[in-house]
Structure 1
Amino acid sequence: MGKVTGFMEYERLEEGYKPVADRLKDYKEFVVTLDDGKAKIQAARCMDCGTPFCNSGCPVNNIIPDFNDLVYSGDWKNAITVLHSTNNFPEFTGRICPAPCEAACTVNVNGDAVGIKSIEHAIIDKAWAEGWVKPMPAKIKTGKKVAVVGSGPAGMAASQQLARAGHDVTLFEKNDRVGGLLRYGIPDFKMEKSHIDRRVEQMEAEGVKFRTGVLIGEMPKDSKITNWAKETMSAEQLKKDFDAVLLTGGSEQSRDLPVPGRDLEGIHFAMEFLPQQNKVNAGDKVKGQLRADGKHVIVIGGGDTGSDCVGTSTRHGAVNVTQFEVMPQPPEQENKPLVWPYWPLKMRTSSSHDESAEKGILAREFAISTKEFVGKGGKVTGLKTVNVEFKDGKLVEIPGTEKEYKADLVLLAMGFVNPTATVLDAFGVDKDGRGNAKATTDFDGGYATSVDKVFAAGDMRRGQSLVVWAIREGRQAARAVDEFLMGFSDLPR
């Protein structure tokens, strides 16, 4: 490495944030990327450990020591080449990935991990600024046609890989814009949608055709997810028109909370709330938009989606925001000798939590369960809770801990259970026990479903997961489809 002793000489450098008062005025990104000098110092901390656990900790297996060394040497152009060799969209992961690579970093055993995510962010932003990210159209066309259903990160990654292999790719999306949950699930203040738009331009130049507003199959009649499809297409038609079909839709069926009072007005899934604000940010008019202005907001669910609801509610002007988590509060610091190099359970505070806390409107409650929603005139006014604890491997209620919270808006952010069933039903593919498309990741026949020439990847196959896992599965599925069509594949797996 360029600086063998760098990890002993330099401390971890964090990306900066704009002041809370400034960033709450809009929905723009507020992270300040490392400049060249700071990125070089951060890259110098990579310790040439011999066995880079960061590579295996990263789902797309980024070649992290190599691009760290190139950044330290000032060779940014080769750094983006190395980064792109494993990751189609580092501007997505450099912004919203939780960075399991850093948890696996060898420096993290008894110190602070190398800021891998911040270096990745710096590399791709510099690459776009310098004009190094260009279309890579295939030199030879195969004449094979592939349909990809779902334009989230898995679908985008697969489509780009297949187009570069020479296939004619059409990417179908039921919503009015490309991006899936990247577009309508992740708030703009975490990732502005211009990053998606310029990748779409690149992919179009590489030959990918995008068809938005097209729903494959039928939308469930009881779904509360807003659907903007303008037309439908049958699975039979897709299989007839294309040589292969790859299903890459997201896991959109939200986990519900079927307790008394659930039907009261003012109780909504997070994925009813978040997409509306993104559409407004894009310039659309949303009739009857769900807003938190002047309201007492309860967010049920302690994960990333819940945090996004906190950040959006704060920007709306909520009176207060209370976030519930049914699990006990995790420790402030993980037991590194026990868990390294795996992803640790520890207390995590997001930028959205910091914003709301600084405004004095946030409360986070752990080991708490909702017993009942209460209301007046058909509208929710509060909810009743009880504290819980683990006993004999089960969560049980603690007598005498009942409490009632005031609530004008309740947002359910408890994760997602499976993809929209009708898409899978339309193709007649077998499902696993969780309602996902049943397909393996084996080298031989990987990502193939029970239906001939129909494949599945991303959340639709593995269930709710990270963007970086979706990119990995999209890339691997593209190789599987290419091999199915051509008998071999030169695409990386």
Structure 2
Amino acid sequence: MGDRMTPIPFKNLMNWIFEEKKASESIFGVRKKFVKNNDRVLNIFGEKIETPFGPAAGPHTQLAQNIVAAYYAGSRFFELKTVQILDGEDLPVSKPCILAEDECYNCEWSTELRVPEAFNEYIKAWFALKIISKEFGLGSENGFVFNMSVGYDLAGIKSEKINNFIDNMKDAKNTSIWKECMEYLTTNVHKFENIDKKYIENIPSTVCNSVTVSTLHGCPPQEIERIASYLLEEKNLNTYVKCNPTLLGYDTARSIMDEMGYGYVVFGDFHFKDDLQFEDAVPMLQRLQKKGSELGIEFGVKITNTFPVDVTRNELPSEEMYMSGRSLCALSLSVAYKLSKAFGGKLRISYSGGADYFNIDKIFNVGIWPITIATTLLKSGGYQRGNQIADKLEEIEYKTFEGVSLDGLGKIIEEIKKDKHHTKAVKPLPSRKMKKKVELLDCFVAPCSEQCPINQDIPTYVKLVGEGKYKEALEVITDKNPLPFITGTICNHTCMDKCTRNFYEESVAIRSSKLEAAKKAFDELIKEVKSSDKYKDKKVAVVGGGPAGIASAYLLAREGAQVTVFEKEAELGGLVKNVIPDFRISKESIDKDVALAAKMGARFEVNHPITDLEKLKSAGYDNVILAVGAYNGMPLGITCDNEINAIEFLRACKKAPETIKAGKNVAIIGAGNTAMDAARAAKRLAGVENVYIIYRRDMRNMPADEEELEFALEDGVKFKELLAPAFQKDGKLTCHKVVLGEMDASGRQKPVVTEEAVTLDVDLVVASLGEKVNGEYYKSLGLKVTDKGYSVMNPETMESSSEKVYVVGDGAKGPATVVLAISDAVKAVNAILGLKPRAEITVSSDVKAMVSRKGILLHSKEVKDEAKRCLECNSICESCTDVCPNRANIAVRVSGSKMSQIIHVDYMCNECGNCTSFCPYDSSPYKEKFTLFANLEDFKNSKNQGFVLLDETTLTFRVRLGAKVNDFNLKDASSDISEGIKNLILSVYENYNYLLMK
């Protein structure tokens, strides 16, 4: 495959639109259409737009199908992708060229087509919109506007190539593509219900009477003014000039980025010095504004053009890239404010820069429009996000431009600087990818469930909770999870890291949904808890009454095994009960999980340490599960007058806080989750005034979960970053300053300790460098251990070096999470009883309801239940289809298949790489999904598994599966091809024939 796109001929384009619309009420995968049901419009360039927004000059206005998809979803202003003298194969574009998983970066800057090809795409789109607007009753055929974008210098704009482009966009009637489209439509007028030949013949040939000027960084003001003057005076075009965030000045831009958490984004002051300066921009724009007024032509600015930043983490295969999206919003609006203030609010502004559903109405209300968007359309939901934006803007009064409200704009900027939707999290975002490759077929999966160590049926129970079926939800939860209260309260919920909803606004609140089910259905469920008697002859001892032990007991008792848990402490719950503070989890929550296991038939003996396995075996226990927690802490290894280990400290805080000699100032050395617990517990001790977290890296690189860091900050814990403790003496802790050096194997910068010292008032030092397993205990029981003290065991069955003795929880692989302890318990119990993994539990889903959530941004606080936000990815993922600007990934309905299949259409792909970011698998759909090729040459030029039609008469296809290439006659029932692949190819041929480019 190559990165060159093949434009779709107009007849194929129209056939595709009408066939897809007829079959599924969608167009290019956009299922929800926007219909303009009122006569409210805005006037711009002497024309009308029904909604004041649309796609920016970029990936969403490069091909005709992109523009059609955007229109169908609600866009009515189209800033066409920039054309310049350097085009096609001569234009150097590194691939992949887009990275939009959070703030967006790109390294592509104008159309990748030849300029004449780009012109053809815009004319085809013009005709297509004129037809579908009327035929499908979407709005007025004159309710949208095309705005061309040209660059990058006057010589290029005056060249024959660009000059012809501009002139033909102003009047296209004599061009070959105009005649081709007109001929097709008039010949096929019988296919339309609401369109006649006269309507077609009267489609205006003036496609565009406006232009947005894009200039290169470093373009001098004189050149910019010459370009704009030429377009105003010679071409008589309504003209907007793109302005860069560099107008703010380096210090202001750097300050805003740092304030909002984007300190890691690197950019120098070169462009700020080399680009148009504000003191030059204002008089230049005043002259151009005056010139436009004298000519009776609109003039304004487009904010914002590119903001160049350095590639520092191999984000894209280039040295420099352009930032957009949520990180650009405050910068762009600040440029708008600065210019508006200089012009008394009377400068027209076309806006782009982090606009989306959450802020577009605010931007519009202060008098800034049209508004173009790109990054939000590149994220999950794709073009469909336009539908929600259009609906939101429909609720606002449309006003003729009278000026920009400076007060209103200033307020928006301050809000955005503090808005979590725009500010960066304290820590780097976790990977949203599963550690597995995408399947060729049947790839839809719930990444949350896949990430969960026990594969909880998350979409199912979230759906049931949303329906108020709490008991059914809790039954689904406890089918695989014996600890719904503990995990519903303190689980580290990495499932939420993988939730596709993160690409909308925030994860579905999976953990709290679980806890809601547990709280509301516990009393009902425990009455009906029943165990089997299938394994009543099995007798198992569980050593340790923490989460791993309780889970093991529940799972064994459920199957009828006789199980007794031996706990050395006076209470059950292990570290969760004895160490984790009450403000994190209550005693009652832990006790309820114990009660479930007890009701299932498990017995518990407290104050009963086990030091000899032979005694258990002689007592008739067939198997033993060791579920012992990691209680041992690691010392700091420095001289301290008053040092205590974090586990010991937390236990004392919980059981006997009066015994702790904390003084006024407490320092926690370390920055994991245990350190955060210790810091927050210290804040609650009588007499403590200051609590410090001291760590040798910065907060961004602390190992604690983001949530735990935020809790500590809210509690008033003070973070002392880049410090390495040296010694504590006489109430003083001396540390050395640290600088961050080269990256280590984990991808973090190595801390380098300097000689510069810092002294803090510290009365108590709490060491929180991690916990250790007591390997000596396992040795005393006759088990082999690793050099770290972990039990040697089979990771599939958890069986130790001693037959029928199993090790789960911390002792198996080191200190870990509660849900990992449950996972170990499941493996051990399955091995002991010979069980298979529990099957997935699903409930019937409403496809329409699932589809209706796509593209709809909705925070948790805006809904009563999380089911309305869950995208049910195990039934309908289609992320790769949503986010592809060119519509090159397509969901195909296949006969006999429960779910749609994804195919990749090679000729529509330019290898931008956007689908890679949003596929939940560690994969690139444009390389790894089954691919349709337009012709044999494209097939040969690719390594993708896929197919190409060779002979329609015999229905022969050439197919590549793995590394093997074969020709298959699909009319021949004996063809040696898998049923799934055969059905997929036949479905494409029979139901999606318009894809074949015949």
TM-score (norm 2): 0.38
Distance 2:819 2:453 in 1: 6
- Shift of the 441–347 alpha-carbon distance from structure 1 to 2, 3 Å rule, reads same
1:240 aligns with 2:586: no
Amino acid at match of 2:457: I
Partner of 1:364: 719
Give the corresponding residue for 2:794.
440
Counterparts of 1:170 and 1:331 in 2: how far apart (Å)?
43
- Higher relative contact order (CA closer than 8 Å, sequence separation 6+): 1
Q: Distance in 1 between matches of 2:771 and 2:527?
A: 34
CA contact (8 A) 2:471 2:525 kept: no
Does residue 268 (structure 1) correspond to residue 638 (structure 2)? The answer is no
**Runs ≥4 in structure 1, deviation > 4 angstroms?**
4-10, 129-134, 343-348
Q: Report deviation, 1:180.
A: 0.6
| Change in 2 beyond 3 A, CA 1:180/1:133 | farther
Tell me which moved more, 295-304 or 381-390.
Answer: 381-390
CA distance in 1, matches of 2:606, 2:705: 39
Q: Of 520, 531, 545, which aligns to 1:137? A: 531
Q: Which residue of 2 aligns with 1:476?
A: 827
CA offsets, 1:352-410, max 9 Å, x none?
4312x2xxxx31012221111213xxxxx22211122344544321232x111111111
CA distance in 2, matches of 1:193, 1:140: 33
Pair 428,103 (structure 1): closer, same or farther in 2 beyond 3 Å: same
Quick check: 1:460 aligned with 2:772?
Answer: no
Aligned equivalent of 1:289: 659
> 2:325 aligns to what?
none
Matched-pair contact (CA < 8 Å) for 1:330–1:346: no
Q: Secondary structure at the match of 2:709?
A: coil
Q: Distance in 2 between the 1:124 and 1:205 partners? A: 16
For residues 41-440 of structure 1, what are the structure 2 equivalents within 5 Å?
50-128=444-522, 130=524, 134-140=528-534, 142-217=536-611, 234-241=612-619, 242-259=621-638, 261-262=639-640, 264=641, 266-280=642-656, 289-290=659-660, 292=662, 294-317=663-686, 318-330=688-700, 349-355=709-715, 357=716, 362-375=717-730, 381-392=731-742, 393=744, 394-400=750-756, 402-417=757-772, 419-440=773-794
After superposition, the Cα gap between the structure-2 partners of 1:150 and 1:345, relative to the gap in structure 1 and judged at 3 Å, is: closer
The 8 Å contact of residues 526 and 596 in structure 2, kept in 1 or not, is answered as no
2:708 & 2:738 partners in 1: Cα distance?
A: 21
Deviation at 1:304, TM superposition (A): 1.4
Render the CA deviation track for 1:423-468: whole Å, top value 9, x for unaligned.
20122212123211111222xxx11111121111111101111111
Unaligned runs of 5+ in 1: 11-48, 218-233, 281-285, 333-342, 376-380, 484-488
Structure with bigger helix share is 2
Q: Is the 1:245–1:454 contact (alpha carbons within 8 Å) kept by the matching residues of 2?
A: yes
| Residues 23-74 of structure 1: CA deviation (Å, up to 9, x unaligned) | xxxxxxxxxxxxxxxxxxxxxxxxxx94211111222211111112222333
- 8 Å Cα contact 1:163-1:208 kept in structure 2: yes
Aligned partners of 2:787, 2:498: CA distance in 1, in Å? Answer: 31
Deviation at 1:346, TM superposition (A): 6.0
Cα 1:344–1:209 shift into 2, 3 Å: closer
Query: Match of 2:680, as an amino acid?
Result: G
CA contact (8 A) 1:448 1:455 kept: yes
Give the aligned CA root-mean-square deviation in angstroms: 2.8
> Per-residue deviation at 1:137?
3.2
Deviations 1:144-183 (A, max 9, x none): 2211111111111011111122221111111111111011
The answer to whether the 8 Å contact 1:140/1:166 transfers is yes
Residue 237 (structure 1) shift: 1.4
**Native 8 Å contact 1:135 1:203 kept in 2:** no
Judging changes above 3 Å, is the alpha-carbon distance between structure 1 residues 389 and 149 closer, same or farther for their aligned structure 2 residues? farther
**In 1, are the aligned partners of 2:485 and 2:592 still within 8 Å (CA)?**
no
User: Hey, what's the Cα distance between the residues in 2 that align with 1:133 and 1:349?
Assistant: 39
Distance 1:431 1:214 in 2: 24
8 Å contact from structure 2 (residues 775, 791) kept in 1? no
Unaligned runs of 5+ in 2: 1-30, 33-379, 390-442, 745-749, 840-998
Counterpart residue identity of residue 813, structure 2: R
SS at match of 1:214: coil
Distance 1:121 1:277 in 2: 26
TM-score, with structure 1 as normaliser:
0.74
Distance 1:120 1:201, change over 3 A: closer
SS at match of 1:55: helix
Q: Is the 8 A contact 1:368 1:387 kept in 2?
A: yes
Cα 1:320–1:428, aligned 2, differ >3 Å: closer, same or farther?
same
The percentage of counterpart residues that share the same residue type is 28
1:233-264 Cα distance to aligned partner (Å, 9 max, x none): x23212332211111111222122111x24x3
CA separation of 1:207 and 1:201: change in aligned 2, threshold 3 A: same
Q: How many residues align?
A: 396
Amino acid at match of 1:93: T
Given that 1:389 and 1:396 are in contact with CA atoms closer than 8 Å, whether structure 2 keeps it comes out as yes
Go from structure 1 to structure 2 and tell me whether the alpha carbon gap of 1:435 and 1:389 turns closer, same or farther (over 3 Å shift).
farther
- Largest Rg, 1 or 2: 2
1:312 to partner: Cα distance: 1.4
- State the shift of 1:134 in Å: 4.5
Q: Secondary structure of the equivalent of 2:569?
A: coil
**AA matched with 1:153:** P
Q: Secondary structure at the match of 1:470?
A: helix
Question: Equivalent residue of 1:351, what SS?
Answer: helix
Q: 1:71 to 1:55 in 2, by over 3 A?
A: same
Matches of 1:106 and 1:181, distance apart in 2: 33
Partner of 2:69 in structure 1? none
